[in-house]
């Protein structure tokens, strides 16, 4: 780790906004409060609007170490960023975030790359290694494999070079096994004489490629002994094997014995894992000490570890014992053992029945821990209408309105989002949503008769019920509440003869009728609901005045 006297210069790089996705880059160990990106500028909104519209980060899985600053709307570092903790040796180290912006609801995808700094020194499995070498009988050119150092960083910061302290008897040979590993061998260059020097102490130094470079060391304690002059030998230095992750505990996946040209007890070999194999790995595998057979002892999981490097030591029973080494590189093969997972990251309900086609109702995130075809997920929605799924980015879906809604026909939908991976056989997941429809004032009141015909004798007393009109409205709430109004009377003299109750629709007589004066009346009645905007329906009351002998 960096000391307190080292200054860290933070360079934040902003990548372009493309199709709703923003990319940023920030070095690990950036100070809390470091501005990663000016989100309002990238998203095309004012800083004040970003706070008012609740611009925020939606997390998937573990929480990252960034947040949206409420005042400025900037994306800032909120806690310690450790690339090695977040991504291990994976490169690049990219975190996928989702930004939500309300009123209207919008989603933006942010990819944050945490770049490596040289903050980890090389580390050997052990600070000291003891080696026993027989004098004279061990010939120049004899090779002694060493466990190399590891560096938690990546790239040039993890590229290691090795040096050996000066020695007239030994040199160090370093070969690249692959782009991530080095094979380190101590080679004897001159015969040893125990009586002259019984113990040689050397130091192996590993230096990484960072600037400045960091180093780690391991001490070699070489004891010169007289004894057994043939070490066990494997016919290969590296064995590559494959095993599916669902292999049952006890499955044998390797057996390759070493040979020793000695006889008797010096020929008997004991097999074991080298000290460089971590204890947690040794708990997963068992090696037969007599046959060298290796079998599984626990359950493998491709999603946790893709491969294992098992260093095997074959040690004879001579005095002193000699050993040979090989590496068993086990590749774990993925099987379809993880079903897709569906999360609802945002749900906007109820949905107004007059919402336009294309309205986003919900945001969903879909993932599968498997790889390859086993991790490729297809999603669908049931029933297929009136909602559908849209996806612009892998693993991110929007549930959108595909058809116009009618609350009076269907007031609530039970929707199921179905996810299916590409494994054989495939695995499935389902997520149910209940989406209610919010009423809109899209229905006008309707009278049960367009014309009401009534008769009254001319001597009907004041207060007599003339007619009760009735109207219905299939909407609900205030959209269903209505009032009645008499908007026109013919002849006009009727305005003073009748009164209409605006709530019940009852019309009563308020004056005296006179057959000899007016024999009939036509009254236009309007029913208006309380929606926004209000809607109206109309009917007509035709009143015939009957003559009496007055």
The rounded distance, in Å, linking the Cα atoms of 323 and 260 is 10
The pair of structure tokens assigned to 8 is 């860290």
Residues 6+ positions from 115 with CB-CB distance below 8 Å: 25, 26, 27, 28, 83, 92, 93
The rounded distance, in Å, linking the Cα atoms of 524 and 543 is 11
Domain 128-225 has CATH 2.60.40.60: yes
Nearest to residue 369, comparing CAs of 421, 307, 409? 421
Cβ 449 vs Cβ 486: under 8 Å? no
Which residue has better confidence, 180 or 81? 81
- Tell me the average pLDDT across 523-547: 95
Cβ 510 vs Cβ 489: under 8 Å? no
Cβ 358 vs Cβ 342: under 8 Å? no
CA atoms within 13 A on the CB side of 88: 4
CA atoms within 13 A on the CB side of 24: 23
The rounded distance, in Å, linking the Cα atoms of 84 and 105 is 35
The pair of structure tokens assigned to 280 is 């947690």
The rounded distance, in Å, linking the Cα atoms of 483 and 502 is 5
The rounded distance, in Å, linking the Cα atoms of 156 and 208 is 7
- Tell me the average pLDDT across 101-127: 84
Domain boundaries, the chain: 22-115, 128-225, 233-333, 341-438, 446-546
pLDDT per residue as tens digits for the range 221-268: 999 875 566 789 999 999 999 999 999 999 999 988 899 887 788 889
Whether 101 has a pLDDT exceeding 80, the answer reads no
Chain centre to alpha carbon of residue 405: 32
Tell me the CATH number of domain 341-438, given options 2.40.40.20, 3.30.2010.30, 2.60.40.60, 3.20.20.140.
2.60.40.60
**β-pairing verdict for 215-225 and 128-134:** parallel
The CATH code for residues 22-115 is: 2.60.40.60
Strand, coil or helix: 134:
strand
The rounded distance, in Å, linking the Cα atoms of 357 and 351 is 12
Which residues on neighbouring strands pair with residue 311, listed in sequence order?
A: 327
- Find where tokens 């379809």 sit: 336
344: enclosing H helix or E strand = strand 341-347
Mean pLDDT of the chain: 87
The rounded distance, in Å, linking the Cα atoms of 527 and 501 is 11
Looking at domain 233-333, its CATH architecture is: Sandwich (2.60)
End-to-end CA, the chain: 116
Whether 217 has a pLDDT exceeding 90, the answer reads yes
Cβ 131 vs Cβ 119: under 8 Å? no
Nearest to residue 95, comparing CAs of 70, 123, 62, 130? 62
> Predicted confidence band at 543 (pLDDT cuts at 50, 70, 90)?
very high
The rounded distance, in Å, linking the Cα atoms of 408 and 421 is 38
Question: Over the range 159-196, which residues count as b (16 or more CB within 10 Å of their CB) and which as e?
Answer: bbebebeebebbebebeeeeeeebbbbbebeeebeeee
Radius of gyration in angstroms for the set of CA atoms belonging to the chain, rounded to a whole number: 42
- Tallying the residues shown for the chain, one arrives at 550
Which residue has better confidence, 140 or 33? 140
> Predicted confidence band at 294 (pLDDT cuts at 50, 70, 90)?
very high
DSSP letter assigned to residue 84: H
DSSP readout, 257-278?
--B----GGGG-EEEEE-TTS-
The rounded distance, in Å, linking the Cα atoms of 134 and 302 is 43
Q: What pLDDT does residue 7 have? A: 29
Whether 18 has a pLDDT exceeding 60, the answer reads no
pLDDT per residue as tens digits for the range 445-504: 999 999 999 999 999 999 999 999 999 999 999 999 999 999 999 998 878 899 999 999
The rounded distance, in Å, linking the Cα atoms of 211 and 139 is 40
The pair of structure tokens assigned to 460 is 């009907």
Tell me the CATH number of domain 446-546, given options 2.60.40.60, 2.30.180.10, 1.10.357.10, 3.30.200.20.
2.60.40.60
Percent helix, strand and coil across the chain, each to the nearest 5: 5, 45, 50
The answer to whether the peptide bond before residue 313 is cis (omega within 30 degrees of 0) is no
| Number of helical (H) and strand (E) elements in the chain, helices listed first | 4, 39
Cβ 22 vs Cβ 113: under 8 Å? no
The rounded distance, in Å, linking the Cα atoms of 467 and 486 is 13
**Domains 22-115 and 446-546 fall in the same CATH topology:** yes
> Predicted confidence band at 397 (pLDDT cuts at 50, 70, 90)?
very high
Longest dimension (CA), the chain: 156
The answer to whether the peptide bond before residue 491 is cis (omega within 30 degrees of 0) is yes
343: enclosing H helix or E strand = strand 341-347
Q: What pLDDT does residue 47 have? A: 65
Strand, coil or helix: 25:
strand
Which residue has better confidence, 188 or 56? 188
């Amino acid at each position: 780790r960096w000391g307190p006297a080292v200054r860290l210069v933070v360079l934040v790089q902003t990548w372009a906004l493309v199709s709703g996705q923003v990319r940023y880059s920030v070095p690990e160990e950036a100070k809390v409060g470091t501005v990663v990106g000016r989100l309002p500028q990238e998203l095309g909104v004012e800083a004040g609007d970003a706070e008012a519209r609740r611009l925020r980060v939606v997390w998937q899985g573990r929480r990252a170490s960034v947040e949206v600053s409420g005042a400025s709307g900037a994306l800032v570092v909120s806690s310690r960023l450790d690339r090695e903790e977040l991504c291990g040796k994976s490169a690049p180290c990219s975190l996928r975030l989702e930004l939500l912006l309300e009123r209207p609801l919008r989603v933006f995808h942010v990819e944050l790359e945490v770049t490596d700094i040289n903050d980890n020194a090389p580390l050997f499995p052990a600070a000291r290694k003891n080696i026993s070498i027989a004098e004279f009988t061990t010939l120049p050119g004899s090779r002694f494999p060493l466990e190399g150092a590891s560096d938690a960083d990546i790239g040039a910061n993890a590229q290691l070079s090795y040096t050996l302290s000066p020695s007239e008897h030994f040199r160090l040979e370093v070969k690249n096994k692959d782009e991530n590993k080095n094979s380190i061998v101590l080679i004897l260059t001159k015969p040893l004489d125990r009586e002259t020097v019984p113990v040689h102490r050397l130091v192996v130094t590993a230096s990484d490629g960072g600037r400045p470079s960091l180093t780690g060391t391991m001490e070699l304690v070489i004891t010169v002994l007289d004894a057994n002059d043939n070490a066990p030998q494997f016919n290969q230095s590296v064995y590559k094997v494959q095993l599916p992750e669902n292999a049952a505990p006890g499955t044998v996946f390797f057996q390759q014995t070493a040979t020793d040209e000695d006889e008797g007890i010096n020929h008997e070999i004991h097999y074991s894992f080298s000290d460089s194999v971590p204890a947690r790995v040794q708990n997963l595998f068992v090696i037969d000490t007599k046959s060298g057979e290796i079998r599984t002892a626990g359950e493998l999981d491709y999603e946790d570890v893709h491969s294992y490097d098992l260093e095997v030591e074959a040690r004879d029973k001579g005095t002193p014992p000699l050993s040979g080494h090989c590496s068993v590189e086990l590749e774990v093969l993925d099987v379809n053992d993880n079903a897709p997972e569906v999360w609802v990251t945002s749900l906007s309900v109820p949905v107004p029945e007059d919402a336009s086609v294309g309205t986003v109702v919900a945001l969903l995130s879909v993932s599968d821990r498997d790889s390859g075809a086993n991790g490729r997920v297809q999603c669908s929605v049931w029933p297929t209408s009136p909602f559908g799924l849209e996806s612009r980015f892998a693993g991110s879906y929007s549930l959108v309105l595909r058809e116009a809604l009618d609350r009076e026909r269907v007031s609530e939908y039970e929707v199921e989002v179905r996810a299916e991976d590409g494994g054989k056989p495939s695995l499935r997941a389902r997520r149910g949503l209940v989406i209610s429809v919010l009423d809109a004032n899209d229905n006008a009141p309707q009278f049960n008769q367009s014309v009401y015909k009534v008769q009254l004798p001319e001597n009907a007393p004041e207060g007599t019920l003339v007619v009760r009109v009735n109207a219905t409205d299939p909407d609900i709430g205030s959209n269903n509440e209505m009032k009645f109004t008499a908007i026109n009377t013919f002849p006009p003299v009727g305005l003073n003869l009748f009164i209409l109750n605006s709530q019940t629709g009852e019309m009563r007589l308020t004056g005296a009728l006179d057959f000899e004066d007016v024999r009939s009346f036509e009254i236009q009645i309007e029913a208006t609901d309380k929606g926004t905007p209000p809607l109206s329906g109309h009917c007509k009351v035709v009143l015939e005045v009957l003559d009496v002998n007055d």
